[in-house]
Homo-oligomer: A and B are copies of this chain.
Amino acid sequence: MKRNNTDRQISPTNPLSALLGYQLRRASVAMMANLAADLNDISLRPSEASILLLVQANPGITQSMIGSILGINRANMAPLTALLVGRGLIDRTPADGRSHGLHLTKAGTALAKKAARCIETLETRVLAKMPEKVRSTLVGQLRAIWDETPD
């Protein structure tokens, strides 16, 4: 098909930019990239930091329970947990013979505190970009998108 050069785009338009799904994804990716970079300084990935914070808030919790809360499946929790145990950040105490209760070690507690500080700093920085009124309702609106039973 013959084309002239009148359709060469100088300033392209993005038809996706008005879409909630698109903006959610871009915002999420951007924030995760920032978080990953910050957590990298303490040798943690976002998923590892999440697990530490969850164990800290729920001493004795099992791998499966963590997975079901965070949306990480059982098979993928195994190597993640093993790594954190291997680094001396969490330990396992037998619970019922087939499962273990997880607890933070002293080193794990210290690192969880640093991770929490990373996360809070980022949260504050991003939330500062929006007006107070939005700040207080945004998190709840996002939760409504994926979870009908808020906790």
Chain A residues in contact with chain B, CB under 8 A? Answer: 1, 3, 5, 7-9, 12-32, 35, 50, 53-54, 56-61, 65, 69-71, 91, 93, 95, 101, 103, 119, 122-123, 126-127, 129-130, 134, 137-139, 141-147, 150-151
Q: Is the CB of A32 within 8 A of B21?
A: yes
Instruction: Out of B23, B27, B59, B143, name the residue touching A17 (CB < 8 Å).
Output: B143
Residues of B within 8 A of A61 (CB): 9, 12
Which residues of chain B come closer than 8 Å to A25, judged between CB atoms? 28, 31-32
Q: Which chain B residue shows the least CB distance to A130?
A: B141
Q: Are the CB atoms of B58 and A3 closer together than 8 Å?
A: no
Contact call B146/A12, Cβ cutoff below 8 A: no
In angstroms, Cα B126 to Cα A9, docked, is 32
A21-B126, A22-B50 are known; give 18 further A-B pairs, CB within 8 A. A1-B103, A7-B59, A8-B101, A9-B60, A9-B61, A12-B69, A14-B54, A14-B69, A15-B56, A16-B70, A18-B139, A19-B139, A21-B28, A21-B123, A23-B143, A129-B145, A138-B138, A138-B141
